[in-house]
């Protein structure tokens, strides 16, 4: 976002991402903490499926980018982290993630280091 950008926020409740063919592309910012990642991980998988179809020219969806901000106490509590890293590798620049840990005292594994902020 840039200064004066319009954003929509949704906290809790029933939510989903279901773009229709012909809809203008939107850029998503997904924010999760702890087990709150579950519905957002499903959205990321859906986005990856649509990007995969788009690359195969099997659909007419126009997609923007998806950026996930995901926080937990330690990297061991980051659910689906390997899957998320895989999505980022499969769709570079289209799906990105920034992990934040608040109480990490041990060394962060090399694979996660470029994507982790916090203690």
- Determine the Cα–Cα distance for residues 70 and 79; give it in Å rounded to an integer: 9
Please classify residue 1 by burial: count the beta carbons closer than 10 Å to its beta carbon, then call 0-12 exposed, 13-18 middle and 19+ buried: exposed
Q: Which pLDDT tens digit goes with each residue over 29-87?
A: 999 999 989 999 999 999 998 887 666 666 667 789 999 999 999 999 999 999 999 99
- Note the pTM of the prediction, 2 decimals: 0.83
- Domains of the chain: residue spans and CATH: 28-117 (3.40.50.80)
């Amino acid at each position: 976002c840039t200064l004066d950008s319009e954003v929509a926020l949704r906290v809790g409740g029933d939510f989903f991402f279901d773009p229709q063919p012909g809809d203008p592309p939107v850029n998503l910012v997904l924010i999760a903490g702890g087990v709150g990642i579950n519905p957002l991980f499903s959205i990321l998988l859906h986005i990856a499926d649509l990007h995969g179809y788009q690359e195969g020219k099997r659909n007419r969806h126009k997609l923007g980018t998806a950026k996930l901000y995901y926080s937990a106490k330690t990297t061991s509590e980051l659910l689906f982290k390997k899957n998320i890293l895989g999505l980022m590798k499969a769709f570079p620049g289209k799906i990105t993630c920034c992990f934040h840990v608040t109480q990490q005292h041990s060394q962060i594994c090399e694979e996660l280091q470029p994507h982790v902020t916090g203690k």
